[in-house]
Each structure stands twice: as structure tokens, then as C-alpha cells.
Amino acid sequence: MVCGDTQCITTYRHFWITNGDVINDQMQLYRCGPPRHPLFHRLWCQRFAVGLRKSGIKTGDRVLLFSPNDLFFPVVFMGIVMAGGIFTGANPTYTPRELAYQLKDSGAKYLLCAEENLDTGIAAAKSIGMGLDRVFLFNSAVFDGKGSGSRGCSYWGDLIASPAEGSRFVWESLSAPASALRRGIPVYIMARFDFIQMLENIQKFRINEILTVPSIMIALAKHPLVKKYDLSSLESIGSGAAPLGREISEEVESMFPPGKLNVRQGWGMTEATCTILCWDPNEQGTSSSVGELNANCECKIMAEDGVTELDENQRGEILVRAPNVMKGYWNKPEATRETLTEDGWLKTGDIGYVTEQGKFFIVDRKKELIKVKGNQVAPAELEGILLSHPSVADAAVVGITRMCCQDYPNARYVDRDGEEYPRAYISLKAGAEATAKEITDYVKQNIAPTKRITGGVVFVKDIPKNPSGKILRKVLRERAAQELLDESLQVSAKL
């Protein structure tokens, strides 16, 4: 078991009490695009908190924000916390059904919507019987101090005393704007991610650090337009959300003078308020490690039996225990019992290991491992090899089994053993060519026999991913099942 020791201090106390005088009101948050920024951050948070209290919010009440990234996100978050409420945010691409579920499940008292999300918000609120007097518009029109709109819901401006005009933006986690509040570091925020716009913003605003996901890293390494932009201001790149092969990191680092840029991976979970591990800012990352254990955190690596604790360099499920680990899933006691042990250990579902030096490495998600002849094969490892192929722009690997066709008695297939076979989905670079055999032979040269691509290679235009850049393996597994069924039915038709 690994432990990190230091004095414990809450985020609220750190920002607003212990060192509140350090937080200055200089401009720190900027919108990429037409210049726009908020002033007097602490004052806006306090005003919003007062507005919420006057509106009737009580300690423990929930407020749901349904909006693309926006300049005033930190104000909303901190204001809700200062009022004693609980912040919950919804994906801005949600449908009314999905939003209604989160509204009902979270028990939110208020719904704040961006103008473009308002129709969805109203539909969701109506479907669960939430009064429209609890739905507020969150956009620049609010900040003119006007009253309710023509769509039957109140403006968010009613909750704030004399609000200033706002604007939309962000492509960062909350930690970046929060750090800006603490240290006065400028943060430029994109409303929606666009790769070319990101390159333009790095060049225009001379950005020093960006936080990314593997899909963005792959684009940085392989997109032909990258060379047209001046990215020389970059000093550090962080990657998270999914494992990133060191090969891609080195490919990006090679675009800069030796030692100029360092790519480092991060790892965390929402259930642990996002962060478990961290990096020494003065340390140069040279591997695919995701860092060292945070202060006040404990970690252990467990064998598949869930009982045996493993030693250094042995792969198993990572369990963590820390003050920042959640109390449980809201209104889901069974899911909580499955994820949290009685003595407070969080089962992360991630497979990894830790070295003697305390460096952690993530192999893959436990549920995504492919079982081949008794061995566990990590899709991320195979994807890292595939991405090193000169013709490959992006790749994803899932496990397939011929047993998925067993419900179709007229379909003929080779295997009934339920064995899994790694299948690769490949997106080629523009103008590049490669055959399935070339791909499988390339992998064969770089991996053990049990990890080879034995389930076939499928060429696709794009790899399906969610907004945070994680591969949608469920979508690919469903596609693979249909592909296997079609292949088997074609064989049956010929016999």
C-alpha cells in the first residue's frame, strides 16, 4: 500500500478563508475570440450566493447547470458552494430525456440553461413536473438586468444582484480556472473544442500549457496542418481521460527543441473529485506514468480475487482511499456498495501497477480488458502500437467472440468456444494506404503472440468517441457483433 502524507485542508478554506486575501481581482479568465472577461471574481461569487439564498436555496439543495463552457462557470460553481448548495452539471448535448433523468435523479431545485439549451431544458423540466419558475436562462442577455423572457421561464439574472454582462467559452477542467483565481494566471477558454481553432488560439495568445485528451494528442502528432502554426510558446501538455502511449507523447515532443516541451499523463475519477495522482512540476516525464500519489491519499493494487494485495510492478485493480473520495452515489445504495468497501476503499475499475519509486502506470479499464487464452490483453497497449504505424491516424481495439451469433441458428461460424479475439478499427491518414495484412503483420512484429490482432482489421473514417475523447467501445462492440453476424449469414447463404 502506498500513502501520501501532508496536512489536510479543504478547497473552500484554501480559496476563501485561509488565503482569501491572495485572490486578486485582476483579469485571469478570458474568452477565446472577441475579448471578454469578468472582473471582481470574489464579489460576483458572493453576489450569486446571496441571490441564491434570497431565492430560497437551503444548505444541501442542488443547482443544475446545463450549458456549453462559459466564462462565468467558476462564478456559478463557487457561488453555489458559498450559498451552501451542491453544484451539478449536465452534458450540453443531452436530450430532454437524458436531462430529465439527471434533474430528477439529482433532485435539483433550480435549472440554469444556456440560451441554445433552453428548449431542451424546458422540455425536460415539464416532463418531470418541475415548475418553469425554477428554470433560469444563463447567457449574455441575463446580464443586462432584464426580467423574465418570453418563453415562460425566469432569467438567471433574477438570482444575481446587478450582474455584469457575460460571455461563453472554456476548454479546461474547473481546476484551471480555480488555479487562476488563486494565482492570477491567465486562462483562455473555448466554448467548444475545435482542433484548428485550438492551434490558432495557442499561436494568438501564446499559450504555455494545455490540458488535452488522447484524441487531441494524436491529432497534434499526425495532423498535417499543425506545422502551419507557431506553437513555440507551449511548455507543458497534460493528457487525461484515457491511457496515452508514450510513442505519441514522444512524437509531439519531437516537434520542439530537446527539453522544451514535456507531455505528462494524468489520472483521476469523478468519484474521487477528479484527482488521485499528481506530478512534480519540476520533474521531466520520460515514460507513460500518470504520476505519484497525492497527499493524504492511500492506494493498493489488488489481484483479480479482490482479496490479495499485490506488490510493486504487479498488475491489478487500483483501489484508493482519501478524504476527497465520494461518500457514495446519490440515491444508488447498491452501486455504492459495489464500488466502496466498508472501510472506505474506492474500487476504481482501472488496471495498473506502481513501481518501487512510487510511479503509477495505468494499463486499461478492468471491463475493457480482452481475455485471450487465459491472458488479459489491454486494448490501449495494442492501440499504442497501431498508432505508431506511419499510415495510421487513429485506432481502437475491442474484443469479439463468435458466440455473439449464437442466437441465430441459421448462421454458420467457426468457433463456439467463447474465446475473445482482438479486432482493430483503423482510421488512415489522408492519402495513406495500408492493407489489413500489413497492419496485422506490423503488430505481430511488436507484441507477444497472445496479443496479436486475430479478430480482423476494419478500416473506418473516424473512431467513435465521446466529447471527452474516450473511445466508445460499446459502439464498436455492437458494430463488431453485427459484422460477425453478416459475415456468418453470407457464408450460410453460399452453402
| Span(s) in the chain for CATH 3.40.50.980 | 8-159
Dihedral, CA of residue 247, residue 251, residue 253 and residue 259, to nearest 10: 70
pLDDT digits (tens, 9 = 90+) for 450-485: 889 999 999 999 999 987 778 998 899 889 888 888
DSSP type of residue 265: E
Q: Are strands 421-428 and 392-400 parallel, antiparallel or unpaired?
A: antiparallel
Residue ranges matching CATH 3.30.300.30 in the chain: 369-494
The reported pLDDT for the residue numbered 242 is: 76
Amino acid at residue number 234: L
Answer for the pair 288, 243: CB distance below 8 angstroms, yes or no: yes
Is the domain spanning 8-159 CATH 3.40.50.980? The answer is yes
pLDDT digits (tens, 9 = 90+) for 296-311: 899 999 998 889 999 9
Mean pLDDT of the chain: 79
Q: How far is CA 13 from the centre of its chain?
A: 27
Provide the phi-psi class of 312: left if phi over 0, else alpha when psi is between -120 and 50, else beta: beta
pLDDT for 241-258, tens place per residue?
777 878 889 999 999 998
The domain over range 266-365 is classified in CATH as 2.30.38.10: yes
Q: Which CATH class is domain 369-494?
A: alpha beta
Distances (CA, A) of 423 to 66, 370, 379, 471: 37, 10, 9, 14
pLDDT in tens, the chain (495 residues): 666 554 444 444 444 444 444 444 554 666 666 555 554 455 677 788 888 888 888 999 999 999 888 777 778 888 898 899 999 999 888 889 989 999 999 999 999 998 889 999 999 999 999 999 899 887 543 333 223 333 344 333 333 332 322 222 233 344 555 555 566 677 788 877 889 999 999 999 999 989 888 889 989 998 999 999 999 999 989 888 777 878 889 999 999 998 899 898 888 888 887 778 888 877 877 778 899 998 889 999 999 888 999 999 999 999 999 988 988 888 888 989 999 999 999 999 888 999 999 999 988 778 788 878 767 788 988 998 999 999 999 999 998 876 444 443 433 333 444 578 899 999 999 999 999 999 999 999 888 888 899 999 999 999 999 877 789 988 998 898 888 887 766 655 555
pLDDT at res. 366: 81
> CA 476, CA 190: separation in Å to the nearest integer?
29
SS3 for 102?
helix
- CATH 2.30.38.10 domain residues, the chain: 266-365
Main-chain phi, psi angles of 113, to 5 degrees: -120, 140
**Contact yes or no for 489/411 (Cβ under 8 A):** yes
**pLDDT, tens digit, 9 for 90 and up, residues 354-390:** 999 999 998 877 878 887 876 778 898 899 899 999 9
